């Protein structure tokens, strides 16, 4: 369990960082006064302070020094300079958690003081509605308690699972990028309904709820998606006609390729 008196700091307060902060406060993991954030954009920080009651600063070192758990929520391209500026403030009692896509644990362990406890996490944008899918990998110095802490924090905004670092690029390609693969599907299904005469608002609502319901049904029943598909596809019915159209269009291969391409890009980002 996260010590509710410990202080959590965010370096970077963009969409993902702010979503995590809201989830942490909503779940009661720490009180707002024990949460801090730094960012280069001061007006956004002031909005967060007014909305959440957290501590803010445009100076990364202020948040780093005050935090027991430091969450790095910056773009991979800026991470090098951020770590260089932070390393003087990283002490052995601090836990570092990074959500930068594609960046391996060794990057942090080599850039920060020897023995620094680091955990790598890949959440996704659904953290903004507390439905994130997050993969978590421990660094060589991270303890089992550190992992419990990370799992609790990220479970506050959805579902979190532990994975070996060798699969973190796959997590990035699957759940990290995945929402962007599903949004066009929701839109396309709605387009089909609009073509058949339904109004746009109803079509989008029904399409989105269909995706949500299907996912929830699989997660809650534990059934294989193939079994669930068979439950809906009666002989010579409407659904099997639609499934046939999807197979003709190569939808399965397209989604597999989307995950593979995104995974490969994550690997490339980690080498830069």
Q: Is 13 annotated as a binding residue?
A: yes
Give the max Cα distance, the chain: 68
Cβ–Cβ under 8 Å, residues 35 and 97? no
Cβ–Cβ under 8 Å, residues 124 and 98? no
Q: Is 76 annotated as a binding residue?
A: yes
Spatial distance between the Cα atoms of 259 and 68, rounded to a whole number of angstroms: 35
Cβ–Cβ under 8 Å, residues 86 and 98? no
Cβ–Cβ under 8 Å, residues 217 and 225? no
Cβ–Cβ under 8 Å, residues 103 and 109? no
Cβ neighbours around 17 below 10 Å, total:
22
Cβ–Cβ under 8 Å, residues 190 and 200? yes
Q: Is 15 annotated as a binding residue?
A: yes
Q: Is 16 annotated as a binding residue?
A: yes
Cβ–Cβ under 8 Å, residues 207 and 186? yes
Q: Is 11 annotated as a binding residue?
A: yes
Spatial distance between the Cα atoms of 173 and 182, rounded to a whole number of angstroms: 13
Q: Is 186 annotated as a binding residue?
A: no
Strand (E) positions, 123-215? 132-138, 158-162
Cβ neighbours around 235 below 10 Å, total:
5
Q: Is 96 annotated as a binding residue?
A: no
| Residue appearing with tokens 């720490």 | 30
- Pick out the residues of the known binding site: 11-16, 60, 73-76
What residues form the annotated binding site for NADP(+)?
Answer: 11-16, 73-76
Binding site for NADPH: what residues are annotated?
A: 60
């Amino acid at each position: 369990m996260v010590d509710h008196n410990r202080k959590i700091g965010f370096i970077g307060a963009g969409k993902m960082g702010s979503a995590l902060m809201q989830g942490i406060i909503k779940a009661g993991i720490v009180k707002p006064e024990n949460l801090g954030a730094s960012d280069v954009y001061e007006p956004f920080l002031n909005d967060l302070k007014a909305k959440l009651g957290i501590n803010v600063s445009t100076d990364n070192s202020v948040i780093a020094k005050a935090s027991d758990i430091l969450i790095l929520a910056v773009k991979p391209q800026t991470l090098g300079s951020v770590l260089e500026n932070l390393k003087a403030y990283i002490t052995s009692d601090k836990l570092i958690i990074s959500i930068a896509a594609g960046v391996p644990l060794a990057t942090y362990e080599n850039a920060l003081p020897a023995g620094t406890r680091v955990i790598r996490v890949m959440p996704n944008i659904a953290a903004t509605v507390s439905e994130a899918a997050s993969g978590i990998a421990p660094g060589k110095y991270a303890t089992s308690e550190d992992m419990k802490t990370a799992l609790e924090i990220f479970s506050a905004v959805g579902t979190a699972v532990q994975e070996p670092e060798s699969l973190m690029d796959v997590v990035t390609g699957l759940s990290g990028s995945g929402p962007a693969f599903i949004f066009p599907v929701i839109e396309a299904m709605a387009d089909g309904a609009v073509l058949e005469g339904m109004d746009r608002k109803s079509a989008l609502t029904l399409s989105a709820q269909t995706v949500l319901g299907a996912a929830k049904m699989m997660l809650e029943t534990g059934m294989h998606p193939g079994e669930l598909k068979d439950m809906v596809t009666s002989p010579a019915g409407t659904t099997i006609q639609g499934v046939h159209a999807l197979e003709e269009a190569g939808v399965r291969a397209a989604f597999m390729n989307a995950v593979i391409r995104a995974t490969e890009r994550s690997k490339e980002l980690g080498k830069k």
